[in-house]
Amino acid sequence: MLEFHNVPLKTILRRAIMSLPTNFNDILRFFEKDYDTAKEDNALSARGQFLQLYPLNHLKKMTLDDYVIGKGTASFCACVEVKTRTWANMQGATALKFGIYYGKSKSDPTVRYRFTQKFGDDDSTNKEVFANVKDALLDLIQSGKELDFRAIDENPLSQMFKAKILSLYFPEHFINICSKDHLKEIAMEMGIKEQQFISKYQHLLFKKKLEHKITRNWSNPKYMSFLYAQFIRKDLSSAPAVIVKKPQKRNHPEVNFEEITDNRDLIGKKSEEYALNWEKKRLIGLGYSKLAEEIDDRRNRPTYGYDFLSFNAPGDERYIEVKSIGRDGKEGAFRFFLSGNELTVSNLSNHSKNYYFYLVQYGKDGEPCNLYVKHAQDLYTNSEMSPCAYVVRFDLEEPA
């Protein structure tokens, strides 16, 4: 028998199993304790951007090039599959799941428009096929509004594609899970009776979220993450969206205080505008479009100790301090400069719970390319903080 420090493996496994929560409320709290809200924020911002690019009232005007994937340009299909991956994953199968696409096939290397026989035949033009695809898309939207599950399931668009679209446009009715097998498996685990229509599972799982006092106020991305952790992965531990850890090498670099001011002037404003747009998308993705217009810009009032006053929900404030991050030398750790007032405010009892750093990273083209959301207290715990005070400059003159 295997033993660890004279303790039998069977005993270790039994103790581990006994230490896991068994009550559903405890399971939810266990998951929530280590859940990285940055994943949720990224998903919500991605949905917000999607809604800005492709609002429901613009779908009728969508052209073939607006829709099709494969041309290397922004498109509806590319946004649904790739740009909103943090919202829900629908990868799998070929691009034929979109009804029509632009590209090659396994048997034909010619780059051209391709479509499934459901939407046209050999004599059909690309425009005719797309008209049929768009009709199916518009029918899906109408069926989603009416919760007509039969019509949704009978719609000729692919099941994963339909599920993703419904979850993006109607998160108040459909959970953001696209896999047919996963929907059925999770529904069975949640005590939902077998249904005739796959789309109804997607709806009933959302209703389950509303029925529980803990999950009622969770966002769909957070609830989806829990369902996958509990019933598909069967592992409640949650890997963070990005890991922040203390640098391996502790150093004491010289601080160029003029650089601090230069950075604020050169890239600070660009980072702040990037973060502000990102935050507006997050609120739109959360369903709070009006709150997105109520974000208070406090950059010119530094005594507040943060750049923007935003919201987690109506009446629940979020304090955002934007920082441009860069490496300290070629192979150094990432860093940013923090003022004494920002540190003080972020640690106040009435701010610390909802004080976040929005860390903006730049690409090789000198433009913002990524944003990481980190709770201030988590960042302080997992980073190295060194004193970096003010530069005090003055002239001395001897009295006459």
Domain span at 377:
257-381
**Residue 1 domain flag:** no
Domain end, chosen from 178, 197, 232, is at 232
Residues 216 and 265 in one domain: no
**Residue 7 domain flag:** no
Residues 290 and 342 in one domain: yes
Tell me phi and psi for residue 306, to 5 degrees.
Answer: -160, 165
Residues 262 and 208 in one domain: no
Residues 51 and 191 in one domain: yes
Q: How far apart are CA 360 and CA 375, in angstroms?
A: 14
Q: How far apart are CA 372 and CA 241, in angstroms?
A: 9
Domain count, the chain: 2
**Residue 118 domain flag:** yes
Residues 282 and 174 in one domain: no
Q: How far apart are CA 397 and CA 337, in angstroms?
A: 33
**Residue 252 domain flag:** no
393 SS3 class: coil
- The pTM score is 0.84
C-alpha to C-alpha distances, 319 to 291, 310, 311, 398, nearest whole angstrom:
14, 6, 8, 47
Residues 300 and 183 in one domain: no
98-134 pLDDT, tens digit each: 999 999 988 899 999 999 999 999 899 999 999 999 9
Q: Which of 91, 107, 206, 90 is nearest to 147 (CA)?
A: 206
Domain end, chosen from 198, 232, 266, is at 232
Residues 38 and 176 in one domain: yes
**Residue 46 domain flag:** yes
**Residue 5 domain flag:** no
**Residue 251 domain flag:** no
Per-residue confidence of the chain (400 residues) as pLDDT tens digits?
444 445 565 554 444 444 456 699 999 999 999 899 999 999 999 999 999 999 999 999 999 999 999 998 899 999 999 999 999 999 777 899 999 999 998 889 999 999 999 999 989 999 999 999 999 999 999 999 999 999 999 999 999 999 999 999 999 999 999 999 999 999 999 999 999 999 999 999 999 999 999 999 999 999 999 999 999 999 988 777 777 777 776 555 555 545 555 555 668 899 999 999 999 999 999 999 999 999 999 999 999 999 999 999 999 999 999 999 887 766 678 888 898 999 999 999 999 999 999 999 988 888 999 999 999 999 999 888 887 755 555 666 666 6
Contact 155, 67 (CB under 8 A): no
Tokens of 103: 């590209």
The C-alpha angle 124, 128, 129, rounded to 5 degrees, equals 80
**Residue 244 domain flag:** no
Residues 84 and 213 in one domain: yes
Residues 155 and 204 in one domain: yes
Residues 214 and 337 in one domain: no
Residues 120 and 266 in one domain: no
Residues 310 and 171 in one domain: no
Tokens of 308: 């923007």
Q: Which of 315, 313, 385 is nearest to 346 (CA)?
A: 385
